[in-house]
Structure 1
Amino acid sequence: MKWIGLTGGIACGKSTVSRMLRTHDIPVVDADEIAKEVVKPGSAGLKSVIQEFGPEFLTAEGALDRRKLGQKVFGHPELLHKLEAITHPLIREETRRRRRLYEDMGHKLAIYDIPLLFETRAKDQFDGVIVVACTKEQQKERLRRQNWSEDEIEMRIASQIPIQFKEQQADFVLHNNRDEQHLLREVDRLLKWLEELKNQN
């Protein structure tokens, strides 16, 4: 089975593209979804995170306050490393399980939607890499619409490898820098590329 990485910068529209691919019956494993699952209430992952960072990062309902924790660790590499040391092994284990499941089902290709593909030096793990790209100003504007502060926006974008580098390293670049109709055309172009890739030996 071909294992394809899907990535991009924050607010470039990767999740939208991921949802569109699912509507075409392409299996998608979502790293963000798994990252939430491994720290869900009652999980060993959540217990480890709270032991490391403290109960103030729990919501009133007993769930992890991901935004509050993100504000604490981003921009502080030593704290981010501590968090990743807890969560990344759990995410990798669940990802392997889901990948094997799709292989056992006989799929020829599956997508791994992973925001930090290049940041975690994971490119060599894939048979191909798709990058969803837009301009930095578009990233900022989309995050402002989600009520992010300017400091949060700058810090989060600065913590990621520049999108231009990701485009240079990609096997396929999808441009999400115009309207929805343009994005649909870009996804059609991507589907043709995936079909060609699927049929390669």
Structure 2
Amino acid sequence: MIVIGVTGVIGSGKSTVSRILSEIGYPVIDLDSIAHTVLDLNGVVDLIRDSIGSDVLSNGRVDRKKLAEKVFGDEHALRKLESIVHPLIVEKMSEAIERLRLKGEKVVFVDGPLIFETGTEHMFDKIVVVFAEKNQIVRRMRKRGLKKEEVLLRLSRQLPIELKEKMADYVIRNTGSKKELRQEIKRLMTKIREWEVE
């Protein structure tokens, strides 16, 4: 089985790429969804309250919006959060990959924004980076309700897309229309067939 990481920076379109791959029929493990599940675990809520502060909780649960506002403005809080949740995310990802392996899947995609930043790139056979221009990223994220300054701050907390591109096995350019993106994904599928016979 080939395990392919799909990554990029915030707003690059990796989730759109993963959704299209899922529509085609590939299994996709979404690390953001796993992270949301992890944030709801009782022990994790307690650790976050104790190490980051109770101001990121609402009704005894982690308020993701408050948490994001706090950690993206505070490098120390971000590192604390990562030390709490990343090991659990990796554990749950590994379990999901193993379940798909046992089902006999040939190719599995893992959609994760921080594959390189968390040092988990070794867990993947191949890594696909979704690229977009900074002005496109800002425009997309503003449509989601973030201010330009917030987008730039979040981008500053991730490896630059140009560096991720250099470390990738394959790059999808998400700089045009949805139709062009689908063409890029068709080219990726051709590349996957090559990888399967390596």
Settle same-fold status: TM greater than 0.5: yes
Structure 1 residues 107-122: aligned runs within 5 Å:
107-122=105-120
Q: Residue 79 of structure 2: which of 81, 84, 88 is its match?
A: 81
Q: Retained in 2: the 8 A contact 1:45–1:90? A: no
Q: Retained in 2: the 8 A contact 1:8–1:163? A: yes
**Equivalent in the alignment of 2:2:** 2
**Equivalent in the alignment of 1:125:** 123
Q: Which amino acid aligns with 1:44?
A: G
Any runs of at least 4 consecutive aligned residues in structure 1 with deviations exceeding 4 A, and if so which?
A: none
Structure 1 residues 3-18: aligned runs within 5 Å:
3-18=3-18
1-structure distance, mates of 2:35, 2:111? 12
Q: Which amino acid aligns with 1:59?
A: S
**Equivalent in the alignment of 2:173:** 175
**Equivalent in the alignment of 2:51:** 52
2-structure distance, mates of 1:43, 1:111? 29
Uncovered stretches (5+) of structure 2, i.e. residues with no partner: none
2-structure distance, mates of 1:4, 1:43? 31
Q: Retained in 2: the 8 A contact 1:32–1:114? A: yes
Shift of 1:8: 0.6
**Equivalent in the alignment of 1:70:** 68
1-structure distance, mates of 2:122, 2:95? 19
Q: Retained in 1: the 8 A contact 2:52–2:80? A: no
* Cα RMSD for the two superposed structures: 1.5
Shift of 1:189: 1.0
User: Percentage identity across aligned positions?
Assistant: 37
**Equivalent in the alignment of 1:101:** 99
Shift of 1:65: 1.3
Moved more, 47-56 or 122-131: 47-56
Give the 3-state SS of the residue equivalent to 2:159 in structure 1: coil
Moved more, 152-161 or 11-20: 152-161
Shift of 1:19: 0.6
Give the 3-state SS of the residue equivalent to 1:132 in structure 2: strand
2-structure distance, mates of 1:165, 1:52? 31
Please list the CA deviations of residues 100-126 of structure 1 after superposition, one character each: whole Å capped at 9, or x if unmatched: 101110112211111011212222222
2-structure distance, mates of 1:78, 1:54? 12
1-structure distance, mates of 2:17, 2:70? 29
Q: Retained in 2: the 8 A contact 1:75–1:159? A: no
Give the 3-state SS of the residue equivalent to 1:18 in structure 2: helix
1-structure distance, mates of 2:85, 2:101? 25
Moved more, 20-29 or 71-80: 71-80
TM-score, normalised relative to structure 2 = 0.93
Shift of 1:154: 1.4
Give the 3-state SS of the residue equivalent to 1:118 in structure 2: coil
TM-score, normalised relative to structure 1 = 0.92
Uncovered stretches (5+) of structure 1, i.e. residues with no partner: none
Moved more, 119-128 or 179-188: 119-128
